[in-house]
């Protein structure tokens, strides 16, 4: 009895169809829809009526300068920012006022509170700071408790907030929205970015 060969012949190997294969029905439908859209846009350009969707700019914006941001500043506080504040042993309100040279209203949304409660005993000090009665509380009316999406949505609707966060992803997302400053914890103090009238420290 001979030894069985381990390798299979090329013809015997089953080939799986990829999810992006053009022969699949869903991909054919998508390709047809894209072609229809392109044709509709081309016809509209020929007719001279190109339909574009442009987001409405708030009336308080003067190019990148936000005239709605005036003292007392409303600061939307993120979970990440609170945990960094606890790590650096900083006082929330006093350090904010030292950074901005103005009165501040720290605002904590119900999403941030839910996120802090979910994180458990490691964030108990941050949760105790967030529960302080001096801070303003905002109730969220959306589903889910993902704080980043909630903060970005609020800031896009009303550009009257400064966002306090150390989360890189959230800072990148907010950086794309003009006229919204970002506060973060760095080197044992708070720093502010994109605030037009921010004092320059020597």
pLDDT digits 0-9 by tens, 49-75: 655 666 677 777 766 678 888 889 999
Strands (E), 31-181: 61-62, 65-66, 73-77, 104-109, 136-138, 161-164
- What φ, ψ does residue 105 adopt, rounded to 5°? -120, 95
pLDDT in tens, 18-40: 777 777 778 888 888 888 888 87
Q: Where are the domains of the chain?
A: 22-53, 61-193
CATH class of 61-193: alpha beta
Q: How are strands ordered across the β-sheet holding 182-186?
A: 136-138, 104-109, 73-77, 161-164, 182-186, 189-193
120-177 pLDDT tens trace: 899 999 999 999 999 999 998 887 778 899 999 999 988 899 999 999 999 999 999 9
Identify the residue with better confidence: 48 or 92: 92
CB atoms within 10 A of CB 55: 6
- Predicted confidence at residue 14, as pLDDT, reads 63
As given in the structure block, the two tokens for residue 142 are 């959306």
What rounded mean pLDDT belongs to the chain? 84
């Amino acid at each position: 009895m001979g030894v069985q060969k381990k390798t299979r012949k090329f013809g015997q190997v089953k080939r799986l169809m990829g999810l992006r294969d053009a022969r699949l029905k869903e991909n054919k439908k998508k390709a047809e829809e894209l072609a229809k859209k392109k044709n509709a846009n081309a016809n509209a350009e020929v007719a001279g009526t190109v339909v574009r969707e442009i987001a409405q700019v708030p009336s308080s914006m003067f190019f990148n300068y936000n005239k709605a941001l005036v003292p007392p500043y409303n600061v939307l506080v993120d979970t990440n920012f609170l945990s960094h504040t606890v790590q650096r042993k900083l006082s929330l309100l006093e350090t904010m006022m030292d950074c901005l040279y103005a009165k501040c209203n720290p605002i904590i949304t119900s999403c941030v509170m839910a996120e802090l409660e979910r994180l458990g005993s490691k964030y108990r000090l941050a949760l105790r700071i967030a529960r302080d009665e001096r801070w303003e509380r905002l109730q969220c009316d959306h589903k889910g408790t993902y704080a980043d999406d909630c903060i970005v949505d609020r800031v896009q609707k009303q550009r009257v907030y400064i966002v306090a966060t150390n989360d890189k992803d959230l800072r990148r997302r907010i950086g794309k929205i003009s006229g919204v400053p970002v506060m973060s914890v760095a080197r044992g103090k708070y720093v502010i970015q994109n605030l037009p009238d921010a004092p320059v420290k020597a």
